[in-house]
Every structure is written in structure tokens, then in C-alpha cells.
Amino acid sequence: MRHATHSPRRVGRREFGARTAASLAAVAAAARQVRGAGDRIGVGIIGCGGRGTAHMHVLRALKSRGEEVEIVALCDTYRPRLARAAQLTGAAFATMKHEELVAREDVDIVLVATPDHWHGIHTIDAMRAGKDVYCEKPLAHWRQLGLPERMVRVAEETKRLVQVGCQRMSSTAYAQARALIREGAIGTLLMASTGYYRIGDWGERGMPIDDPNAAPGADLDWERFQGDAPKHDFDASRYFRWRMYWDYSGGPGTDNYVHFYTPLAYMMDLGYPDRVVATGGKFRYEEREVPDTFNMIADYPDRITVLCHGTQGNDFQTLGSGEQPLIRGWDGTLSIEGAQVVVRPTSGSAKPALALPIAAGTDEQRFWRDFLVCCRARTQPESGIALNAAVATTLQMATLAMRESRCVRFDQAGKKVV
Ligand SMILES: NC(=O)c1ccc[n+]([C@@H]2O[C@H](COP(=O)([O-])OP(=O)(O)OC[C@H]3O[C@@H](n4cnc5c(N)ncnc54)[C@H](O)[C@@H]3O)[C@@H](O)[C@H]2O)c1
């Protein structure tokens, strides 16, 4: 450790556990008071591809552990995937039109696991139909400026809950770090850095073309897939490997950076940045449209700078895909290192060094279970809509900044990108 004069104070698992238990008890008590608290929660899934299927397995595992949850309806614009999902889940209702799914009485929560340019629209339509929503990240496509803020307004108007699929937020590490920061453990916040690396599995290798002869018609709704995106003739690569194309994806910025930027924004209470710059491009992979290398810097009103960087080169298996955030304050530095939240005071600071064991790591089942608890108790999830709207807008700004080689600003009073 750099500052040998400070001996680390270990805040025990028991101390954190007691606090967590108290808040969980409060939530559980609230849950018992709401109508239908013990009733089965019906989930409708829009998007039955890779991620949608992963959610099906998580929900089935929760159900087998006694959770009152059931997948009751499915939607996908490609019928073979719909049929496969129906077989896997046993859901009785399947449709290619999401309006029919969100209108169903037996659906309480809608899971949105479609390509990025549909997330905001599916989420709003579900909320307007009275459903809570688990929306996969990112909240909106990079060109859909203002949509994240519209989603926040609709959530407020309809009093619906939205959890955004940054499952890393299920780790207690970030709540523990946030509490330390709020207690002043590193003093006034100055800057933070994080990053994301993933070797070229963007679409070229990572997204299979189910059927190279697939064509629009009764089994594939190309018009609906395109939605509000610029129109093209059908192309199986665009349909199945949409992550490679600007029309449906934003590349690392809006896709991968969410995983670390969301916990960072949560720990530091970042809100919206004043301005963002970014660099990058296709430095390694030619087939895709979106960048493989992406670096951004955002300045926030409280004079905090955040740096996020990434390329596709990494050993995903052993090194992991990303860099845990490092947060620098005037009096110290906070980092997440293995199973600990670590605080190292600045030289000469009177603050103590800390090494806090992380009470619980990332757990997709717990992330879902916590959302079910929130839906019964009508409490906001940690990875909620307001936090994620600010993150989504920041990453939209970064994508615009890179594409247009300019500094993109946010009008804080008008709450819009300028
Ligand atoms: N949280 C995570 O770790 C994580 C991991 C992977 C993907 N994701 C997110 O999940 C989303 C889906 O990614 P994926 O890898 O599953 O993609 P995918 O292509 O495998 O699945 C998307 C599915 O949506 C269907 N679809 C497209 N437009 C539709 C529409 N208008 N209505 C209904 N269905 C439609 C497609 O036919 C396809 O089956 C992405 O936005 C991605 O960012 C999150």
C-alpha cells in the first residue's frame, strides 16, 4: 500500500450485513402491505434472442427456488426464435407484435431485450399499458436524443418502475463505496476513470446468423425490426448481427460502457455532464460500422472529470471485460479491488486507509429478485430510470462527439443535448 502511515480500518461483513438486513426487512414489511404481494408475478418478454434467453433461464431458476414468478407471454419479430422460446418457457402466448403482449392482463412486468433502438419505445408502451419494466441496457439508441428523459417523465406520470439491465449493480460494492464517499472518506470528488475491453466478438463472431436464407414475410417482420431506424432493404447481417451497424447500435460507448459507467455515476451522484469529448474509430476491425476503439472524457458541473476508455483487445476470460472504476478525491482515492472496496488517503491527509470486504458480488438472480421485491413494495430499484437516463444521455453525447469530432454540450437548465 502506498501510504504506510495509515493502517486500514476493516469494516466487517457483519456491520454492513446488519444495515442491509434492516433495509431488506423494511422492504419486506412494505411488500406485505401491497395488494397481491404474495401473488404470482407474470413476466412478458419482448426479444427472445441471446439476452432474452439468458433472462428466461434466470427466471426459471428463480421459480424453481420458490419465487412466485412466471413467464407468461413472449414477443419476437423472428418466428423461429419465438417458437424456441415458447418451448423453453412453456409460455402460452406468443406474438410478433409487442402491443399485444403489453396489453395482456396476466403480464405484470415486461422485459425488454430487443436491439437498442427499440428499448425506449417498448419501455414507454409497456409503462403506458400499466406495466413495470426491466429494460436491458442501454436505455436508448445514440441517435434518440431526449428519449431517456421522456422515459423518466412517463415513469413519473404512470408511476411505473423501471430497472435497467446493468446487473453489475447487484453487487453491494457500489452501495458500500457510495456510502463511504458520502461520509467524506476521500473528500471532495475530483475525477474518476474506468474502461471496457473485449476482444472482437462484436457481431462478426459473437452474433450468429440463424439462417442465411431468412427473408421478410410471415416469419420475419423486417419493417418492425427497423422501427424508427433509417430504412434499408433486407439484409440478414443487419438483422442478426445488428450490433455492427450504427442504425441499431452505438458500439462500445452506448453498449459496453454502461456496465461500468452506471456504477460510477451511482457512486459519485454524477447527474448530467456539461460537456463531453471523445476519440476512436475502427482501428482493428473493418467489417463492422461501429468503432472498436473508443475513448471519452466528460466534465461535470461540480468540476469533476470522468475518463472512460476502451479497445477490443483483452483476454476476456482471465482479465475480465472491464476496468473497475477508480475515483480520486481531494483527500484520497477509492477503488474496487477484488473482493474489497479500498480507500487510500492522500499523502498528509488525516483520513484513515480502509479495506472494506464487499458483502455480496454480482448475481443476476439476486438482481431479478430485488426487482420483484421492488415491484411488490413499489420502491425504486438501485439501477433505476433516473440514474440510467443520465448515463444513457452521457453516452449518447460521447457517441456524437466521436462521430462528429466535436465537443458535445448539455444544457442543464433545459435538460437537453445541444
Ligand atoms: N446486460 C447484459 O449483460 C447484456 C448482455 C447482452 C445483451 N444485452 C442487451 O440486450 C439487448 C438484446 O441483445 P441480444 O444480444 O439478445 O440480441 P439478439 O439479436 O440476440 O436478440 C434480439 C431479439 O429481438 C428481436 N427483435 C428485434 N426487433 C424486435 C421488435 N421490434 N419486437 C420484438 N422483437 C424484436 C430479434 O428478432 C432478436 O431475437 C441489447 O440491447 C443488448 O445491449 C445486455
Q: What is the DSSP string of 22-87?
A: HHHHHHHHHHHHSTTTTSPEEEEEE--SHHHHHHHHHHHHHHHTT--EEEEEEE-SBHHHHHHHHH
77 lines ligand 1 (CB under 6 A): yes
104 lines ligand 1 (CB under 6 A): no
Question: Was domain 169-208+242-360+385-417 assigned CATH 3.90.1150.10?
Answer: no
140 lines ligand 1 (CB under 6 A): no
Q: Which of 56, 82, 114, 368 to mutate to test the pocket of ligand 1 (most atoms within 8 A of CB)?
A: 114
52 lines ligand 1 (CB under 6 A): yes
- Write down the pLDDT at residue 197: 82
Give 220's contacts (C-beta < 8 A, 6+ positions apart): 77, 78, 79, 214, 239
How many Cα atoms occupy the beta-carbon half-sphere of 93 within 13 Å? 20
122 lines ligand 1 (CB under 6 A): no
Going from the Cα of 96 to the center of ligand 1, the distance in angstroms, rounded, reads 14
Going from the Cα of 146 to the center of ligand 1, the distance in angstroms, rounded, reads 22
pLDDT tens, residue by residue, 225-272: 999 999 999 999 999 999 999 999 999 889 989 999 999 999 999 999
How many Cα atoms occupy the beta-carbon half-sphere of 309 within 13 Å? 5
pLDDT classification of 199: cutoffs 50, 70, 90? low
Q: What percent of the chain has pLDDT over 90?
A: 79
Query: Directed axis angle between helix 147-158 and helix 385-404, to 10°?
Result: 170
Indicate yes or no: pTM above 0.85. Answer: yes
Average pLDDT, the chain: 89
115 lines ligand 1 (CB under 6 A): yes
φ and ψ at 208, to 5 degrees?
-70, 145
Going from the Cα of 114 to the center of ligand 1, the distance in angstroms, rounded, reads 4
50 lines ligand 1 (CB under 6 A): yes
Q: Which of 55, 76, 110, 257 to mutate to test the pocket of ligand 1 (most atoms within 8 A of CB)?
A: 76
pLDDT at 93 over 80: yes
Going from the Cα of 115 to the center of ligand 1, the distance in angstroms, rounded, reads 4
Question: Measuring from atom 31 of ligand 1, which residue has the nearest CA?
Answer: 225
- Write down the pLDDT at residue 264: 97
Going from the Cα of 157 to the center of ligand 1, the distance in angstroms, rounded, reads 27
118 lines ligand 1 (CB under 6 A): yes
The C-alpha cell that represents 382 in the structure block: 438501485
Residue boundaries of the structural domains of the chain: 24-168, 169-208+242-360+385-417
**Alpha carbon distances (Å) from 15 to 22, 171, 172, 310, 341:** 11, 17, 13, 36, 15
Q: Which atom of ligand 1 is nearest to the CA of 119?
A: 41
CA dihedral 211, 217, 222, 225 (to 10 degrees): -90
Going from the Cα of 409 to the center of ligand 1, the distance in angstroms, rounded, reads 30
pLDDT classification of 163: cutoffs 50, 70, 90? very high
- Write down the pLDDT at residue 319: 61
**Which helix (H) or strand (E) segment is 163 a member of?**
strand 162-165
φ and ψ at 3, to 5 degrees?
-110, 85
Going from the Cα of 279 to the center of ligand 1, the distance in angstroms, rounded, reads 27
Going from the Cα of 148 to the center of ligand 1, the distance in angstroms, rounded, reads 18
pLDDT classification of 23: cutoffs 50, 70, 90? very low
- Write down the pLDDT at residue 213: 96
Going from the Cα of 291 to the center of ligand 1, the distance in angstroms, rounded, reads 19
Going from the Cα of 219 to the center of ligand 1, the distance in angstroms, rounded, reads 17
pLDDT at 28 over 90: no
Q: Which of 112, 136, 171, 202 to mutate to test the pocket of ligand 1 (most atoms within 8 A of CB)?
A: 136
pLDDT at 383 over 50: yes
- Write down the pLDDT at residue 14: 35
Region 385-403: mean pLDDT is: 98
Region 376-403: mean pLDDT is: 97
Going from the Cα of 358 to the center of ligand 1, the distance in angstroms, rounded, reads 31
CATH H superfamily, domain 24-168: NAD(P)-binding Rossmann-like Domain (3.40.50.720)
Going from the Cα of 134 to the center of ligand 1, the distance in angstroms, rounded, reads 13
Query: Contact at 8 Å (CB) between 71 and 57?
Result: no
Question: Which sign, positive or negative, has the C-alpha torsion 29, 133, 367, 394?
Answer: negative
Neighbours of 64 (CB within 10 A): 8
125 lines ligand 1 (CB under 6 A): no
Question: Measuring from atom 39 of ligand 1, which residue has the nearest CA?
Answer: 49
Question: Measuring from atom 11 of ligand 1, which residue has the nearest CA?
Answer: 113
Q: Which residue has the higher pLDDT, 286 or 34?
A: 286
Amino acid at 23: S
111 lines ligand 1 (CB under 6 A): no
